[in-house]
Amino acid sequence: MIARFIKYALQYRWAVLLIASAISIAGIFLFTQMKIDAYPDISSQMVQVITVFPGQAPEEVERQVTVPIEIAMKNVPHVETIRSRTIFGLSVVQLIFKEGTESYWARQRVQEKLALISLPAGAEAEIGPLATAYGEMVRYELVSDGRQDLIELRTLNDWVIIPRLLRAEGVAEVSNFGGFEKQYGIILNPSQLLRYGLSVQEAISAIESNNTNSGGSVLSRGGMSFVIRGTGVLKNEKEIGDVFIKSVDGQPLYLRDISSIQISKKIPAGIFSKNNEDASVEGIVLLRKGENPSDVLNRVQSAIHELNKSGLPLGVKIVPFYDRSQLIASTIHTVAHSVTFGVMLVLFILLMFLGRPALAILVALTIPFSLLFAIILMYLTGIPIGLLSIGAIDFGIIVDGAIIIAESIARALHANNEAHASNPDAPDKTIQTIAQATQEVERPVFFSVLIIVGAFLPLLTLTHIEGLLFRPMAQTIVFALIGAVIFSLFVLPVIASFLFKNGFKDTESKLLLYLKKQYHAALTWSLKHTQSIVVLSALLIGLLTIFIFPRVGSEFLPYMDEGVIWVRANFPEGTSLEQTSLFGKRLREVAMSFPDIKFVTVQAGRNDSGTDPYPPSRVEMMIGPNDPTTWTQVHSKSELITVIGNAFRTEFPTTRFNFTQPIIDSVTEDSNGTSANMAVEFSGNDSTVLLSLAKQAETLLKTIPGAVDVNIEQEGPQPQLVIEPDRALCARYKVNIIDLSTLINTAIGGSPVGVIYEDEKRFDIAVKFSSEYMNSMQSIQRLPVFNADGIPIPLSQVAKVKVVDGQTMIARADSVRRLTVRSDIQGRDQGGFVSEAQGVFAKQLKLPEGYRLNWIGMFENLDRAGKHFSILVPITILIIYLLIVAIFKSQRYALILLSTIPFAFTGGLVALYLRGMNLNVSSGVGFAAVFGISIMSGVLMIKAITTLEKDGLPTDDAIIQGAMDCFRPIVIASLVAILGLLPASLAHGLGSDVQRPLSTVIVWGLGGASMMTLMLLPLIYRLFHTK
């Protein structure tokens, strides 16, 4: 069938060129419309339910909010896991859906369930933004010349900047971090309340009843219609102070008589600082899921420029300090450099070995056509341009089929040219010769490409993070290979018919002639010692594999450099936000003392949107290094992390630090419940038992070589001041529990009791006692609670005020509490570390009944991926085997060709060992790919030898002749395939980390397989043939 299509293509040459041109033009156009990103979005399909329950302790939030939401969400379809974190005043429930679940459908199901839940008064639940852990696009700081304070900057961010950025198409959310939220504070004086016999509730009722508008329908008068409305809302501090409470001795008592009214600030959830500034305001822009990152970044940058130009007060500027475009640009630069250099090396080899520039250019045209063809299919399937799509294509492999066909056409035209020279009157048979030459090799070329495609197909079954990373790569390579085989079989012969219409004289370079001569001599000698050479080679490969394999470690993914350093620090439980910020300031100073650091930011506590439920004792830092080419103190990023880590631990020896990258940190935490390299998760109902187990695990992990920054991930107990009503005493003194709750929630907690509008802005009115009445337990015990008769009763008379240990954070997974002990790993591989740790735990840790232990973190991904590859690799080999049998109708030839795989495997394994790399998903994908690629040249050689045997040549002569005929195409194909990915295997630019193991395995694996194909495959064929 293919032969017939080749014939038709040469009959309708202009139509073929027109179709090829249309495909190329479509590819160029769609390239301008495609998404461009550094990496694929590897985050899980997650929906968050965020509930703010102000003033409530974690235990109360868990009982009244988290647990009811978890119960309601249990039967939501396609949910794999439900996790939650609960801290003071905040609950975040995460629902992880099965991969492939449509985002809006998942959110709709959750919203439906959420609407049916009855939550306590004051609890406000909402679904988190339609963004992913990978969606952080821009972080910016509001910089002021000093004319604006932190309240004004925060107000500006909330009501001017964030609304404008949200109008940029593709932005899911803009979250504020730091600054102070403005509110109108009413600071009650308990002495004045006692003097006038007023309860807190009476003061609140007066405010509420004096802060309302009303509507009076419509008044018609003189043919005109007037809308009637009453405007009784409070507008400023003066009007708040003028609120009438009651008459005392015939005189009005105003709110200002029992309180002071002032513009104040809410208690912040977090404090942000950068470089030498003690506090500032930060904005975090999140990408809406599925949007084009490059386009959205451009819109956000345009909006920031517009605001800076004319939308902000004098002296205020928006200054981005982290921009994903930097990562995208650096990654694309790495891809462009590797691809360009690889293509140049391919062209150099083609020119060197094909002998004629015209022939080399003809083969090289496969590259742009296959690339543009792949871009069309990438656009249709939603694959973005990035490091692991276009950047993973080995253009040397792409031109392999074209080399074989071009070389066949060159030999045939050369023979035709000589025949025509001896008989000038003979009719020109250029087109027939090209058709025949293409048809002679179309079957091995087609099936060779099919074998490579078959090797990549199992990669499409990868799931979770590894699937999201490498499935686009496999799809892109398959798309490019389809384009390459179309061009090689149908377009290349057509172009050759125009290019060589006056004939073609094939020439071989002196280097190629010399190599062929040496190869002929080596092969002739080897055939005389077939059995010895094959046995020794097999023995060498076996010994190498046995020696090296145990010495190559395992990990899930290589370190992914995102250009910055992300640090988490956990200070002692109960540390106040202000104190944590002071600790963060010291960390900033330490980090900025290193000359290779450009900027340092510190986030103490959590953001205001509630998406990151962290307590006040948590610090997150972003450290931005200078350009690595300018570093003076260190030579690598890992070395920089080590010296900074040592300095931090010297300054705070008891503090737990974790160093990672911002994107991978968020992605792995959302996917696995922790961002750690490895973590031990205990689950059960009793927090005390969980804490005991966690402490034992922490001690055991510290004994394992390579363990660093071992700590219990969730903060431990912290002191709580508990006010527990005594119902008997409340009854005796006629005190209602609601009055006691109002005192705690409002006068002590400062809960809002109303709102003031300033144009479009709205600010809370909060009632609270003066801090001097709440600076000790004794002061709180003396606060007055008014009974039913209006008599003040000291709080201590009707309630116990005591300090107890309570939870800082409560983490849950699948409806039970969990506690996680995390560890980073330094100086050894993940797999070996966890294997040793599991052995230690099995011997020394006994779990009580009803409690479970799980090994999670990056290792969980490694374990899952390892099991998947243990199935995937045999399936890949089976697919290759079946395709070879389909080509040759012989199991014997299939087994002969499969003998190249051990050499490819050992070549890749040796490369990993020599370069100090671990076996991981990236290198695993490389092995699966190289198994298919390594067969390609072997198929060509076996086909040539069997054809010559059918023509009557003795076996040894057929082997030598077939090998010599295939020498040039095999050498060229192998060299271009190897050199096409060589730059990527050596690259160290931003974004090259994930691709480097993959390309290293392919380059070295192909090197081993190519040597085997040329030298050993003919011998193995002879050995099998003899038998």
Helix (H, G, I), strand (E, B) or coil at 615: coil
Regarding whether 873 and 795 lie in a shared domain, the answer is no
**What distance, in Å, lies between the first and last C-alpha atoms of the chain?**
35
Query: Is the distance from CB of 527 to CB of 959 less than 8 angstroms?
Result: yes
Give alpha helix (H) positions in 263-356.
293-306, 324-354
Regarding whether 1001 and 884 lie in a shared domain, the answer is yes
Residues pairing with 124 in the sheet:
52
Split at pLDDT 50, 70, 90, the class of 419 is: low
- Residue with tokens 């002296």, as numbered in its chain: 315
**Which of 613, 611, 618 has the alpha carbon at shortest distance from 658?**
618
Q: CA 365, CA 114: separation in Å to the nearest integer?
A: 57
Question: What is the tally of structural domains in the chain?
Answer: 6
Helix (H, G, I), strand (E, B) or coil at 51: strand
**Which of 198, 259, 210 has the alpha carbon at shortest distance from 739?**
198
Q: CA 212, CA 18: separation in Å to the nearest integer?
A: 74
Sheet of 182-188, strand order:
259-265, 182-188, 761-769, 752-758
Q: CA 783, CA 742: separation in Å to the nearest integer?
A: 12
Task: Compute how many other C-beta atoms are within 10 angstroms of the C-beta atom of residue 632.
Answer: 9
**Which of 449, 395, 549, 555 has the alpha carbon at shortest distance from 999?**
395
Cα-Cα-Cα-Cα torsion 833, 838, 839, 845, nearest 10 degrees, comes to: 130
Over residues 421-440, the mean pLDDT reads: 68
Query: Over 50: is that where the pLDDT of 1027 sits?
Result: no
Query: Over 90: is that where the pLDDT of 165 sits?
Result: yes
* Residue 314 included in any domain: no
Q: Tell me, what CATH number does 962's domain have?
A: 1.20.1640.10
* Residue 335 included in any domain: no
Regarding whether 1009 and 913 lie in a shared domain, the answer is yes
Q: Which contacts (CB < 8 Å, 24+ apart) does range 546-549 have?
A: 548/906, 548/909, 548/910, 548/913, 549/909
Which among 128, 150, 165 is the end of a domain?
128
Q: CA 634, CA 630: separation in Å to the nearest integer?
A: 10
Regarding whether 615 and 533 lie in a shared domain, the answer is no
Q: CA 686, CA 816: separation in Å to the nearest integer?
A: 9
Regarding whether 646 and 681 lie in a shared domain, the answer is no
* Residue 244 included in any domain: yes
Regarding whether 569 and 558 lie in a shared domain, the answer is no
Strands of 606-750, DSSP E: 618-625, 656-660, 678-684, 707-712, 718-725
Regarding whether 956 and 924 lie in a shared domain, the answer is yes
Which three-class secondary structure string do you get for 377-443?
A: HHHHHCCCECCCCHHHCCHHHHCHHHHHHHHHHHHHHHHHHHHHHHCCCCCCCHHHHHHHHHHHHHH
Q: CA 694, CA 682: separation in Å to the nearest integer?
A: 7
* Residue 177 included in any domain: no
Residues pairing with 618 in the sheet:
570
Query: Is the distance from CB of 648 to CB of 657 less than 8 angstroms?
Result: yes
Split at pLDDT 50, 70, 90, the class of 220 is: confident
Higher pLDDT: 438 or 178? It is: 178
Regarding whether 616 and 583 lie in a shared domain, the answer is yes
Helix (H, G, I), strand (E, B) or coil at 482: helix
Which among 592, 626, 660 is the end of a domain?
660
Low-confidence winner among 670-674, 805-809, 854-858, 973-977 (lowest mean pLDDT): 670-674
Q: CA 246, CA 268: separation in Å to the nearest integer?
A: 35
Instruction: Please write the tens of the pLDDT for every residue from 613-661.
Output: 888 888 889 998 888 888 888 888 888 888 898 899 888 888 888 888 8
pLDDT given for residue 306 in this prediction: 92
* Residue 135 included in any domain: no
Kind of pairing between the strands at 761-769 and 182-188: parallel
Q: CA 976, CA 969: separation in Å to the nearest integer?
A: 10
Joined tokens for residue 677? 């390299």
Residue-number span of the structural domain to which 420 is assigned: 1-33+355-507
**Which of 644, 708, 622 has the alpha carbon at shortest distance from 138?**
622
Query: Over 90: is that where the pLDDT of 409 sits?
Result: no
Regarding whether 457 and 435 lie in a shared domain, the answer is yes
Regarding whether 777 and 813 lie in a shared domain, the answer is no
Instruction: Please write the tens of the pLDDT for every residue from 910-919.
Output: 888 888 888 7
The DSSP letter of residue 463 is -
Instruction: Please write the tens of the pLDDT for every residue from 304-350.
Output: 999 998 888 888 999 998 887 777 777 677 667 666 776 777 777 77
Which span out of 503-517, 682-696, 876-890, 996-1010 was modeled with the highest average pLDDT? 682-696
Q: Which residues contact 796 (CB under 8 A, 6 or more apart)?
A: 781, 782
Task: Compute how many other C-beta atoms are within 10 angstroms of the C-beta atom of residue 642.
Answer: 15
Helix (H, G, I), strand (E, B) or coil at 548: helix
* Residue 193 included in any domain: yes
* Residue 13 included in any domain: yes
* Residue 602 included in any domain: yes
Query: Is the distance from CB of 276 to CB of 302 less than 8 angstroms?
Result: no
Regarding whether 52 and 21 lie in a shared domain, the answer is no
Q: CA 828, CA 623: separation in Å to the nearest integer?
A: 25
Regarding whether 983 and 1011 lie in a shared domain, the answer is yes
Which among 631, 660, 689 is the end of a domain?
660
Over residues 206-221, the mean pLDDT reads: 81
Higher pLDDT: 106 or 873? It is: 106
Q: CA 461, CA 439: separation in Å to the nearest integer?
A: 34
Query: Is the distance from CB of 718 to CB of 58 less than 8 angstroms?
Result: no
Q: What is the CA radius of gyration of the chain?
A: 36
Residues in the chain: 1027
Low-confidence winner among 95-104, 180-189, 396-405, 897-906 (lowest mean pLDDT): 396-405
Low-confidence winner among 22-26, 223-227, 467-471, 559-563 (lowest mean pLDDT): 559-563
Higher pLDDT: 302 or 361? It is: 302
Q: Tell me, what CATH number does 687's domain have?
A: 3.30.70.1320
- Residue with tokens 């988490």, as numbered in its chain: 568
Split at pLDDT 50, 70, 90, the class of 1026 is: low
Name the percent of the chain in helix, strand, coil, to the closest 5: 55, 20, 25
Split at pLDDT 50, 70, 90, the class of 108 is: very high
Percent of the chain past pLDDT 70, that is, above it, reads 93
Instruction: Please write the tens of the pLDDT for every residue from 517-574.
Output: 888 888 888 888 888 888 888 888 888 888 888 888 777 777 677 778 888 888 887 7
pLDDT given for residue 502 in this prediction: 65
Over residues 873-890, the mean pLDDT reads: 81
Joined tokens for residue 95? 């629902």
- pLDDT averaged over every residue in the chain: 82
Residue 560 phi/psi, 5-degree rounding, is: -100, 105
